[in-house]
Amino acid sequence: MNLNVGLPDDFNPSSFDVIVVGAGYAGAVCARRLAEACGSKVCILERRGHVAGNAYDYRDEAGVLVHKYGPHIFHTADERAFQFLSRFTDWTEYQHKVLADVHGTLMPVPFNHTSLKLAFGEERGERLFQKLVATFGMDKKVPIMELREKNDPDLSEVADYVYENVFLHYTMKQWGKTPDQIDPSVMGRVPVFVGDDDRYFPLAPNQGMPADGYTAMFERMLDHDLIKVYVGVDARDLLSTADGVVNVCGRPFGGEVIYTGPLDELYGFDLSGPAKNAKEAVQWTYFGYLASVKSQDGAAMSIGRLSGFLDVYFERDLKAGLITESDAQEMIDAIVIKLRITRFLRTIDYDQIFSGDPYWATWSDAGFGEDGRTLVTKTSFRLLQTLRNLGPAPEPNITIFWSPELPAGYKEFCAAISIETSSIQYESDPQIRGHWGDDAAIACCVSPMRVGKQMQLFGARVNAGKALLYAINGGRDEMSGKQIVEGFEPVRGDGPLDFDDVWAKYEEMLDWVVGTYVEALNIIHYCHDRYAYEAVEMALHDSDIVRTMGCGIAGLSIVADSLSAIKYAKVTPVRDETGLIVDYLTEGDFPTYGNDDDRADDIAATIVHTIMDKIKAIPMYRDAIPTQSVLTITSNVVYGRNTGSFPSGHRRGTPFSPGANPENGMDTHGMLASMLSVGKLDYEDALDGISLTNTITPSGLGRTKNEQVGNLVAVLDGGFIPEDSFLS
């Protein structure tokens, strides 16, 4: 192996194709593969004085092999990985087995077939084991917390025994927390094993210890003519970046750099401690956010309420003369730029659902504290100024918690920026604060929750419009003609539709739709926790949190107007040659939702209430509290594309109106009337938020800029006055 201590005076980075930082598993494997598969000349820089990383071992004076950084037991189910390492070492067979002393009896851990019979006796233990096999299958690892959640007395007995006698004491000793407070990925290491294998790693066929130790294995791996290893070299002293170029020893490096160490250290940061100044406060906040979103590749990844928090650092540094106001503004501009360029790798199907690639990094601001003081800070103004400095963009989604009592100057600035950029949404601060407290923020698009004390199990939306068409056609799809669901009676005859008959059928169909919907959400979030647990995000929460299940509906206005047409006008169904109702002939006038007409608005409110009641009746995964949104930001386009024509006049394949908006073209009484209609929806039925999107031509607000600003403030104040309003 070409091992060198320190760098020679004539070290020339350009003589290498690849520089690898770190000689642990990741760095060593990359180096070997690049050298032998690609013919790359590889330089390894290792800060420590040895290779093998944390797996490093050595023999002491007595010839005992010592693992310097803690014991390492090799085990893997990946045959390819095992065969690769086997090229560089023989193996000493080692099967790791653990026995727990439970009331004087030694039992295998993880708990298995043998453990059960020792704990409960031969006969009872066998019956319990067969119940586990029937429930989970043979040779399966079942996390203890998953077992505890099963509603079965026998399984609960096993779970409680194992929990009380093994895992409770183990986790309290190891972590100082109870098992339910521990990340499931940690608890998954100590499962119940449904099988007879008493090894600690029963699902890993390849187990053992390198015959000559880990260090020897790594040295052989790095023994290649194209690999040179330099130990005792801190890469941070050699590497720098500028304008997207990596410099090594002060010169641009034309090859590839593979960095396997802590990223914060590479750039001279120490994230292990609190921020010392405003710049670090902004950076630390962004790093935490970036780690969260990149570990999940999720949909709505909001950043919360930042202005008040960051303002403390800005004010301190301004008073100390460490920064200027221009510096503070630049930092806010910079973090907004970073939020704008966050990207994800997503499937084509995902992008189609959302008509693009949004990620909804909502920044919440303003409102009032529960003590009556305004939460508007200087940084609240800086955030708005950023939209002038940088120009408008979809991200971050800036949400202002509006109240008529906000400072007049701030309200006018918000209105001015809205007119200039169309980049602000507004939510009712009194409504949010009354339900969620003054430390609430928007978690998704319009979904409020307490910061750090609450999380949402996110769900898509029910197509409430298509459900109505299914109800009328007895479960047949109006687009394809296929029978999607059995057992529902369609509307009979060619006469006008009867409101009571249609509503009764709609309620029955909603039972099936909502039941199927919630079951899917429960399965999705169970699997998500099991296979893609949000470890980084949960690390930013309190241990004891409130979970909500964010349900939602789409097509509200179309359903409301269609039912209104059936009730107040004459609606005759139009059938195709198979008897499928594919269109409607509507004669006469009918009230429409969005014009402050109680007749139509009450129908809309009833729809929201009915669906929410049906959702509440179904148990939720992890006892989450069901909530509902009336929201579509872009998916209304996709829903409309796949939905037929309606009694309201809405045509097949055309986009739904977004969120709780009136149907396109149906609101004839102005913006304030539509706000008042939406305000009649009961917030208790839509705790996940209600969205109203309005388009205003600035010239329609007044002839001068001052008139426009003043009138927009008046419209917002007027729309948020009703007690039950919750608009965005």
Q: Which strands form 245-248's sheet, in the order they lie side by side?
A: 239-242, 245-248, 251-252
Helices and strands per DSSP (H, E), number in the chain: 25, 30
Is the Cα dihedral 658, 663, 664, 669 positive or negative?
Answer: negative
Question: Is residue 297 helix, strand or coil?
Answer: coil
Give the span between the Cα atoms of 618 and 620, in whole angstroms: 6
Crossing angle (nearest 10°) for helices 499-531 and 556-568: 170
Q: If residue 107 lies in a helix (H) or strand (E), which one and from where to where?
A: strand 105-109
Are residues 594 and 674 in contact, defined by beta-carbon separation less than 8 angstroms? yes
185: number of Cβ within 10 Å: 12
Structure tokens that stand for 7 in this block: 């760098």
Q: Which of 30, 43, 414, 445 is catalytic?
A: 445
* CA gap 617, 614 in Å, rounded: 5
Instruction: Name 554's bridge partners.
Output: 463
Q: Which residues pair with 106 in a beta bridge?
A: 101
Q: Residue 300 and residue 293: Cα distance in Å, rounded? A: 9
Give the DSSP letter of residue 709: H
Looking only at the bridges linking them, the beta strands covering 440-442 and 42-46 are: unpaired
Q: What HEC string does 119-151 produce? A: HHCHHHHHHHHHHHHHHHCCCEEECHHHHHCCC
Closest by CA position to 184, among listed 229, 141, 135, 151 = 141
Answer for the pair 476, 580: CB distance below 8 angstroms, yes or no. Answer: yes
Residue for token pair 């429960």: 522
Phi-psi region of 554 (alpha: psi -120 to 50; beta: other; left: phi over 0): beta
Burial label for 397, CB within 10 Å (0-12, 13-18, 19+), is buried
38 assigned to active site: no
**CA angle 582–584–588, rounded 5-degree value:** 175
**Please, are residues 305 and 365 in contact by the beta-carbon 8 Å criterion?**
yes
Task: Report the relative pairing of strands 256-259 and 18-21 from DSSP bridges.
Answer: parallel
d(CA 413, CA 418): 9
C-alpha 188/C-alpha 146 separation (Å) is 10
Is residue 692 a contact partner of residue 659, using CB atoms and an 8 Å limit?
Answer: yes
Phi-psi map region of 360: left, alpha, beta (phi>0 left; psi -120 to 50 alpha):
left
Residue 490, Cβ neighbours under 10 Å: how many? 16
Letter for the amino acid at 160? D
Catalytic residue among 30, 43, 414, 444: 444
CA 506 to each of CA 100, 114, 310, 490, 603: distance values in angstroms, whole numbers, following the listed order: 58, 54, 50, 10, 13
Here the tokens at position 22 are: 């770190």
DSSP string, 622-670: GGPEEEEEE--SSHHHHHHHT----TTSPPTTPPPPSTTPPPTTT--S-
Q: Catalytic residue at 444? A: yes
Which position has the token pair 């396997």? Answer: 260
For residue 369, the one-letter residue type is: G
In whole angstroms, what separates CA 346 from the centre of its chain? Answer: 14
Nearest to 278 by CA among 330, 346, 215: 330
Catalytic residues: 444-445
